[in-house]
């Protein structure tokens, strides 16, 4: 029988939940998404076909070549494009003022996810689309060589794009990393500028929501912080509910077991039934506490690791948080990119910057909660081994920025 004290704690939790739902009404949104209804969620082929439809200048969407031009213009002014050793790049200025109404768009041409070319302008653009899978061995080099050796593209300039949820770097400096977040920005801009008809606006709006929910897995940081605060405030009664109803499932069990691994001790910052924030103990001891602009993972270090569990995937992320001193933050982000990925990249945000992320795809036909905790732990361990190998480089970057405190 529940005690009177627990009854009061439960009522306090219910009041807290009501306040959360009031502040974030999207929590209970039940809007129907046409893409979810059609089963287009994570399938790369279907996403490529949806994008190909929007690229085609003469389709019923009435966008003309606007979507294509915005993407190619962004790509040709990117740092990767400028530094690439591919000598056959087109002029960024020419791409911005050129008409691409003759653009030919072909999904799965030569096994390339989306291949587009303009005979009039003699330019070819290839997109390799990676929603859940990772790059295959020598895959991008093979695709580039196919384009170079294809008679259709003799004398053509070329732009090669590697499209992933987070804009991950590829094995080839020739391929420009582009994120689905940029796709969202471009599509939202087209809607704002009323470049579409009503039917296309609805199509694009639904597609943007799908990408946010299932591809980039965007999380409202304010909502996430509010949820964590609610959990911390009512931890006892929430844990009691989970214990009584066994709401945790295999993911919760895997998180709990993984947090206590003896071989590579972790400092756990916070966790839920689908999320684990931590720092490897050795790295934690090499980082000073730092002033942050807001609450972040219930800790005060500049770098954290965290797992996300969703659909049929496990993602492990290394992230720099909202460091109050923006000059220090930018120096740290730049140093981390240099040491971890060998690229010259600065912070593009003053809040959260993902330095590294990897995904383990489990089984597209099975919900993640149907996978045993033992199997989930194995996938977590696979990601962890990749991430833990980076800690010496993270320490080097920290020493570069905080020479008297790291090491």
Least confident range of 246-250, 251-255, 264-268:
246-250
**DSSP states along 90-126:** PPHHHHHH---TT-EEEEEETTEEEEEEETTTTEEEE
Instruction: Please tell me the distance from the alpha carbon of residue 313 to that of residue 132, in angstroms, as a whole number.
Output: 8
Angle at 39 between CA 129 and CA 365, to 5 degrees: 80
List the one residue out of 233, 239, 274, 237 whose CA is nearest residue 253: 274
Q: How far apart are CA 224 and CA 15, in angstroms?
A: 18
> Residue 138: helix, strand or coil by DSSP?
coil
What pLDDT, on a 0 to 100 scale, did the predictor assign at position 406?
43
Tokens 């330095």 -> residue: 355
Sorted by sequence, the CB contacts under 8 Å of residue 197 that are 6+ apart come out as: 61, 62
Among residues 202, 204, 198, the alpha carbon closest in space to that of 70 is found at 204
pLDDT at 112 > cutoff 90: yes
Name the β-bridge partners of 292: 323
Nearest of 261, 387, 382 to residue 317 by alpha carbon: 387
Q: pLDDT (tens digit, 9 = 90+) per residue, 198-233?
A: 888 888 888 888 787 777 765 556 666 777 777 778
Sequence-distant (6+) residues with CB within 8 A of 363 are 312, 371
pLDDT tops 90 at residue 275: no
pLDDT at residue 154 greater than cutoff 80:
yes
In this predicted structure, the answer to whether residue 26 has a pLDDT above a threshold of 60 is no
Low-confidence winner among 28-37, 64-73, 182-191 (lowest mean pLDDT): 28-37
Beta-carbon contacts of residue 77 (< 8 Å; ≥ 6 apart): 92
Distance CA 347, CA 321 (A): 11
In the structure encoding, which two tokens stand for residue 211, read together? 């990408």
Query: 365 Cβ partners below 8 Å, 6+ apart?
Result: 312
Alpha helices by DSSP H, 168-302: 180-192, 198-210, 221-233, 235-245, 249-259, 281-284
Over range 320-349, report the average pLDDT. Answer: 88
Q: Is the pLDDT of residue 32 over 90?
A: no
What are the backbone dihedrals phi and psi of residue 359, each rounded to the nearest 5 degrees, phi first? -125, 135
Using CA atoms, how far apart are residues 135 and 143, in angstroms rounded to an integer? 12
- CB under 8 Å to 35, separation ≥6 — which residues? 41, 50, 206, 207, 210
Alpha helices in 342-390 (DSSP H): 373-388
Three-state SS for 160?
strand
* Residue 394 pLDDT > 90: yes
- Strands 275-280 and 303-310, bridge-based pairing: antiparallel
Average pLDDT for 272-293: 88
Residue 97: the pLDDT is: 81
Q: Rounded to two decimals, what is the model's pTM?
A: 0.54
Taking alpha carbons only, the member of 229, 255, 252 closest to residue 242 is 252
Kindly state the tokens that stand for 247.
Answer: 């709401």
């Amino acid at each position: 029988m529940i005690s009177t004290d627990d009854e009061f704690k439960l009522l306090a939790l219910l009041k807290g939940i009501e306040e959360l739902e009031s502040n974030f009404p999207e929590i209970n949104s039940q809007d129907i998404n046409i893409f979810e209804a059609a089963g287009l969620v994570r399938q790369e082929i279907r996403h490529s076909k949806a994008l190909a439809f929007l690229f085609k200048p003469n389709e019923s969407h009435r966008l003309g070549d606007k979507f294509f031009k915005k993407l190619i213009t962004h790509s040709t002014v990117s740092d990767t494009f400028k530094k690439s050793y591919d000598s056959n790049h087109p002029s960024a200025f020419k791409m911005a003022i050129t008409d691409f109404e003759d653009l030919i768009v072909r999904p799965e041409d030569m096994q390339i996810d989306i291949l587009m070319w303009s005979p009039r302008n003699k330019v070819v653009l290839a997109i390799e689309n990676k929603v859940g899978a990772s790059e295959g061995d020598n895959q991008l080099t093979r695709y580039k060589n196919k384009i170079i050796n294809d008679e259709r593209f003799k004398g053509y300039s070329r732009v090669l794009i590697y499209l992933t949820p987070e804009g991950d770097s590829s094995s080839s400096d020739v391929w420009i990393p582009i994120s689905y977040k940029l796709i969202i920005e471009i599509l939202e801009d087209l809607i704002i500028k009323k470049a579409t008809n009503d039917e296309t606006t609805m199509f694009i709006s639904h597609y943007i929501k799908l990408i946010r929910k299932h591809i980039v897995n965007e999380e409202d940081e304010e909502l996430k912080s509010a949820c964590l605060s609610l959990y911390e405030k009512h931890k006892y009664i929430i844990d009691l509910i989970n214990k009584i109803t066994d709401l945790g499932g295999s993911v919760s069990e895997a998180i709990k077991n993984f947090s206590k691994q003896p071989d590579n001790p972790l400092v756990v910052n916070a966790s839920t039934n689908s999320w684990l924030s931590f720092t490897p103990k050795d790295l934690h001891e090499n980082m000073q506490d730092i002033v942050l602009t807001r609450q972040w993972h219930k800790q005060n270090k500049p770098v954290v690791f965290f797992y996300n569990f969703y659909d049929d995937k496990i993602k492990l992320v290394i992230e720099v948080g909202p460091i109050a001193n923006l000059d220090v933050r930018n120096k740290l982000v730049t140093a981390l990119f240099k040491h971890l990925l060998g690229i010259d990249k600065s912070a593009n945000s003053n809040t959260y910057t993902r330095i590294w992320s990897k995904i383990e795809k489990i089984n597209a036909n099975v919900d993640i909660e149907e996978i045993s905790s033992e199997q989930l732990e194995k996938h977590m361990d696979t990601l962890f081994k990749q991430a833990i190998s980076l800690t010496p480089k993270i320490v080097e970057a920290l020493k570069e920025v905080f020479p008297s405190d790291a090491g």
